[in-house]
A and B are shown apart, each in its own frame.
Chain A
Amino acid sequence: MALLQISEPGQTAAPHQHKLAAGIDLGTTNSLVATVRSGLAEILPDENGKHLLPSVVRYRLGLPPQVGEEARAALTEDPHNTISSVKRFMGRGLADICKGCSCSEYDFAENTGSDSTVPRIRTVAGDISPVEASAEILKILKARAEKTLGGELTGVVITVPAYFDDAQRQATKDAAQLASLTVLRLLNEPTAAAVAYGLDRKSEGVHVVYDLGGGTFDISILRLNRGVFEVMSTAGNTALGGDDFDRTIAQWLAEQAGLGTEMTVHKMRVLRAEACRAKEALSAVESVSVSVSRDDGSVWQGELDREQLNILIDPLIQKTLSPCRRALRDAGIELDEIEDVVMVGGSTRSPRVREQVGEFFHCDVLVDIDPDKVVAVGAAIQADILVGNKPDNEMLLLDVIPLSLGIETMGGLVEKVIPRNATIPCAKAQEFTTFKDGQTALAVHVVQGERELVSDCRSLARFELRGIPPMVAGAARIRVTFQVDADGLLSVTAREQASGVESSVQVKPSYGLSDSEIEQMLRDSMAHAEEDVAARNLREMQVEAGRAIEAVESALVTDANLLSAGERARLDAALEDLRVQAEGSDHVHIKQAIETLNAASDDFAARRMDAGIHAAMAGHKLEEFS
């Protein structure tokens, strides 16, 4: 006999609809996609059973790009059209990339015509921005997940290094948009790892996550308390990782083999592949034989042992320790308060790294979960919760902004607006005034970083406030609000206080793609896929309508008592209208109906939020009178 399902009073009677969500680790070397199925997080393999997708994209003439293993195999034979470690270029200007000394590998296109400052790599398939190359990787992972799960993904959580600045985060989000993914949240990699380890189930305490990947290094210090992960501080280096180990070893190989300093890109990649192989082998054995073929055809043969390897990589490991010191100080904790250190990233397989990190923090290092997979697993768990599959889950992640946000003031100095390690979301309002009589516009330059000089910080954006009413110098009061959202992304709004004029703000990202560029790329990709743009617009709007209806309906299930009969009737009418419109084929009408519903539910939303807060603080009201 079938059992009757009876829902709890007050809960929705509709059977809980499981939504498809995934966590994506978009790594420098490899990328992964994971999902939660039957309560367990698992990495999704490709048709050959491989979990790791090499983050390599090869562009071809007249053919779609290759991504992954095939592309990686072409790294040495087709170096100019094959892009690896593209994460290092995300949100970066050409000057930054060259500082990292990897620009010589690619043919970067001159910026012609467009005022865009995004570096583009010249390939046979045209000039490619790092965002586009990343989107190719994401598309493969999306297809893999949707094929395995048998449906369209509602949303994904994509991980980013905790130390990624605003431009790098924005570039990641842009890549997701290009790959037609809905981003539920950008999650910091160390925080994702802490989630995967289930540290929240342990007793209250302070934990460190040391994440040394292929190209980036992060350190995060978290305090855990009954399901809440509170990041206390984070620090790192977005241009330090296993790639640098390889480069250092390759240089040693070149010296040993007596190669000159002048080298072709092909030769460089062969050397680096040999270096990487030796490095990985030395995690298990004490010594490994290495060989390098010289230009004259002769072959140099030698040995690399752990002792020599340690000499080569120790300076790089040391470089990770100064961010560790800073993170400890910013968190305001002492070494003896730390429970353990979670090791993340392929480079933490190195015994030397484990040894040095354990020594530095005076505690155990946790290496139970595969350091390559732990981040994707954490992202999948968070995605499952955010999409709404676990309504009773108590887990909450409170993360921080890794670098201070500031604005340029007179003389090229930086005025800090939001300090590093402030918990997000956070905001700060700052007042500006005019410098000259009758001035009607104001230019603001937003930077990120800890240094005092603008030139030493990362330029994020420049924006202009226009439409300030003409006044004498210093009379205008322009209030600029900087808001950092839960993804760690900055938005800016401005208002002239004296006149109440809402100034328009146009943010021009310093090294990002503009909205119109992204739109154009989307159009191009659709034209490629021969997809009908109108049909797509309609579908997207219908999905949006479904979301809006569901949001209001589920709010009504729990909090309908907050509405008067009249308000309820108005809301019901707006809901009904949207349902009707969503069945139709006019995306403009659907959009209008969504806006009407939003307007009708504004007050309801505010009351619900207040009710939520009062419920949370309900037991504590008495203390106000103590």
Chain B
Amino acid sequence: MQSGDLTSDYFKLFALPVSFDIDDKVLAERYRELQRAVHPDRFVNASDAERRLSMQLATRVNEGFRTLKDPLARARYLLEFKGVVLDDTDTRLDSGFLMQQIELRERMGAVKGATDAGQRLHELRDAIRTLERQLVDELASLFAAGSPQALQQARDASRKLQFFHRLGEELAQLEDELAMS
């Protein structure tokens, strides 16, 4: 027993063109339509086989939505789709970027204990968001260009985005800590 849609790629599953540029609204709409067709709640009275398949497909649709919705996950998925190897152990990045990361981390370190911690946190989050948005724009044009060099650059850009992602997570943790104290 095999359902073809368990193995098809996410773009095909969501009937979307293979592209980094995705309309969030269209994606969310497709997601709801797909879940209406496959969600386990629709198969409570179905045969065992259909219930099992429904869970597998709903899982796949959720995973696809999660991947395509998030720019970082989408970029990584698209790179793999295009045959670009993502080596997470390779962490070489240009020194300008690394300097910027160090600076942002220093700012984060200074938040705790500061009298205006809330304000600093807010500013830092805004700064990170702006930089993230720039990277996402950069990724969009690189994927649009599509040449082998452009894809290599997209790989670097996605790696940078990953740094911001982690930074964002740590910032959230810091926010929790500040809220507790």
**Contact in complex: A550, B58 (CB < 8 Å):** no
Asked whether B48 is an interface residue with its Cβ less than 8 Å from the other chain, the reply is yes
Interfacial chain B residues near A50, Cβ < 8 Å:
none
**Contact in complex: B59, A548 (CB < 8 Å):** no
**Contact in complex: B47, A551 (CB < 8 Å):** yes
Interfacial chain B residues near A184, Cβ < 8 Å:
44
**Contact in complex: B35, A228 (CB < 8 Å):** yes
**Contact in complex: A426, B63 (CB < 8 Å):** yes
Closest chain-A Cβ to B125's Cβ sits at a distance in Å of 10
Interfacial chain B residues near A424, Cβ < 8 Å:
62
Q: Which of A396, A422, A555, A620 is in CB contact (< 8 Å) with B47?
A: A555
Q: Which of B39, B45, B49 is in CB contact (< 8 Å) with A398?
A: B39
Closest chain-A Cβ to B146's Cβ sits at a distance in Å of 16
Interface string of B2-22 (1 = CB under 8 A from A): 111100000011111100000
Interfacial chain A residues near B66, Cβ < 8 Å:
422-423
**Contact in complex: B179, A426 (CB < 8 Å):** no
Asked whether A624 is an interface residue with its Cβ less than 8 Å from the other chain, the reply is yes
Asked whether B114 is an interface residue with its Cβ less than 8 Å from the other chain, the reply is no
Interfacial chain A residues near B36, Cβ < 8 Å:
228, 394, 396, 616
Q: A322-B180, A396-B36, A610-B5 are in contact. Are A620 and B30 (CB under 8 A)?
A: yes
**Contact in complex: A613, B57 (CB < 8 Å):** yes
**Contact in complex: B45, A613 (CB < 8 Å):** no
Interfacial chain A residues near B50, Cβ < 8 Å:
551, 555, 605, 608-609
**Contact in complex: A325, B179 (CB < 8 Å):** yes
Q: A426-B59, A426-B62, A617-B34 are in contact. Are A486 and B5 (CB under 8 A)?
A: no
**Contact in complex: A624, B59 (CB < 8 Å):** no
Q: How far is the CA of A230 from the CA of B28 in the complex (A)?
A: 11
Q: How far is the CA of A386 from the CA of B42 in the complex (A)?
A: 7
Interface string of A456-485 (1 = CB under 8 A from B): 000000000000000000000000000101
Interfacial chain A residues near B48, Cβ < 8 Å:
548, 598
Which residues between 468 and 519 of chain A lie within 8 Å of chain B, taking CB atoms? 483, 485-486
Which of A597, A613, A620 counts the most B-chain CB atoms under 10 A from its CB? Answer: A613
Q: Which of A228, A325, A425, A613 is in CB contact (< 8 Å) with B37?
A: A613
Asked whether A331 is an interface residue with its Cβ less than 8 Å from the other chain, the reply is no
Interfacial chain B residues near A228, Cβ < 8 Å:
32, 35-36
Q: Which of A486, A552, A555 is in CB contact (< 8 Å) with B40?
A: A486
Asked whether A606 is an interface residue with its Cβ less than 8 Å from the other chain, the reply is yes
Q: How far is the CA of A554 from the CA of B44 in the complex (A)?
A: 13
Asked whether A201 is an interface residue with its Cβ less than 8 Å from the other chain, the reply is no
**Contact in complex: A617, B30 (CB < 8 Å):** yes
Asked whether A528 is an interface residue with its Cβ less than 8 Å from the other chain, the reply is no
Closest chain-A Cβ to B39's Cβ sits at a distance in Å of 6
Q: How far is the CA of A486 from the CA of B16 in the complex (A)?
A: 26
Interface string of A611-624 (1 = CB under 8 A from B): 01101110011011
Asked whether B138 is an interface residue with its Cβ less than 8 Å from the other chain, the reply is no
**Contact in complex: B179, A322 (CB < 8 Å):** yes
Which residues between 55 and 71 of chain B lie within 8 Å of chain A, taking CB atoms? 55, 57-59, 62-63, 65-66
Interface string of A586-616 (1 = CB under 8 A from B): 0000000000011001111110111011011
Q: Which of A230, A486, A548, A620 is in CB contact (< 8 Å) with B41?
A: A486
**Contact in complex: B37, A616 (CB < 8 Å):** yes
Asked whether A51 is an interface residue with its Cβ less than 8 Å from the other chain, the reply is no
**Contact in complex: A423, B65 (CB < 8 Å):** yes
**Contact in complex: A425, B1 (CB < 8 Å):** no
Asked whether B158 is an interface residue with its Cβ less than 8 Å from the other chain, the reply is no
Asked whether B33 is an interface residue with its Cβ less than 8 Å from the other chain, the reply is yes
Complex: chain B residue closest to A614, CB-CB: B5
Q: Which of B30, B37, B41, B172 is in CB contact (< 8 Å) with A386?
A: B41
Which residues between 100 and 119 of chain A lie within 8 Å of chain B, taking CB atoms? none
Closest chain-A Cβ to B34's Cβ sits at a distance in Å of 6
Asked whether A539 is an interface residue with its Cβ less than 8 Å from the other chain, the reply is no
Q: A422-B66, A425-B59 are in contact. Are A605 and B40 (CB under 8 A)?
A: no
Asked whether A547 is an interface residue with its Cβ less than 8 Å from the other chain, the reply is yes
Which residues between 300 and 345 of chain A lie within 8 Å of chain B, taking CB atoms? 322, 325-326, 329
Closest chain-A Cβ to B45's Cβ sits at a distance in Å of 5
Count, chain B residues at interface, CB 8 A: 46
**Contact in complex: A386, B44 (CB < 8 Å):** yes
Count, chain A residues at interface, CB 8 A: 57
Complex: chain B residue closest to A19, CB-CB: B45
**Contact in complex: A623, B49 (CB < 8 Å):** no
Interfacial chain A residues near B32, Cβ < 8 Å:
225-226, 228, 230, 396
Interface string of B135-170 (1 = CB under 8 A from A): 000000000000000000000000000000000000
Asked whether A149 is an interface residue with its Cβ less than 8 Å from the other chain, the reply is no
**Contact in complex: A425, B55 (CB < 8 Å):** yes
Which of A326, A423, A609 counts the most B-chain CB atoms under 10 A from its CB? Answer: A609
Q: How far is the CA of A551 from the CA of B66 in the complex (A)?
A: 32
Q: Which of B30, B49, B59 is in CB contact (< 8 Å) with A598?
A: B49
Interfacial chain B residues near A615, Cβ < 8 Å:
37
Closest chain-B Cβ to A545's Cβ sits at a distance in Å of 12
Closest chain-B Cβ to A394's Cβ sits at a distance in Å of 7
Q: A396-B36, A598-B48, A626-B17 are in contact. Are A609 and B176 (CB under 8 A)?
A: no
Asked whether A276 is an interface residue with its Cβ less than 8 Å from the other chain, the reply is no
Interfacial chain A residues near B55, Cβ < 8 Å:
425, 483, 485-486
Interfacial chain A residues near B59, Cβ < 8 Å:
425-427, 483
Q: A228-B35, A329-B175 are in contact. Are A388 and B44 (CB under 8 A)?
A: yes
Complex: chain A residue closest to B65, CB-CB: A423
Interfacial chain A residues near B175, Cβ < 8 Å:
325, 329
**Contact in complex: B15, A485 (CB < 8 Å):** no
Asked whether B53 is an interface residue with its Cβ less than 8 Å from the other chain, the reply is yes
Q: Which of B1, B17, B39, B65 is in CB contact (< 8 Å) with A624?
A: B17
Q: How far is the CA of A421 from the CA of B176 in the complex (A)?
A: 17
**Contact in complex: A425, B15 (CB < 8 Å):** no
Asked whether A185 is an interface residue with its Cβ less than 8 Å from the other chain, the reply is yes
**Contact in complex: A396, B34 (CB < 8 Å):** no
Q: Which residues of B contact A (CB under 8 A)?
A: 1-5, 12-17, 28, 30, 32-42, 44-50, 53-55, 57-59, 62-63, 65-66, 172, 175-176, 179-180
A-B contact pairs, 19 of them (CB 8 A): A322-B179, A325-B179, A326-B176, A386-B41, A396-B42, A425-B62, A483-B55, A551-B47, A555-B47, A601-B47, A604-B49, A606-B3, A609-B57, A613-B34, A613-B37, A616-B33, A616-B34, A623-B15, A624-B17
Q: Which residues of A contact B (CB under 8 A)?
A: 155, 184-185, 225-226, 228, 230, 322, 325-326, 329, 385-388, 394, 396-398, 422-427, 483, 485-486, 547-548, 550-552, 554-555, 597-598, 601-606, 608-610, 612-613, 615-617, 620-621, 623-626
Q: Kindly list 6 other residue pairs between chains A and B, CB separation below 8 angstroms, not including A425-B55, A483-B55.
A: A185-B44, A225-B32, A387-B44, A598-B48, A605-B1, A613-B13
| Nearest 7 CB-CB pairings of A with B | A605-B49, A620-B15, A616-B37, A602-B1, A486-B40, A551-B47, A605-B50
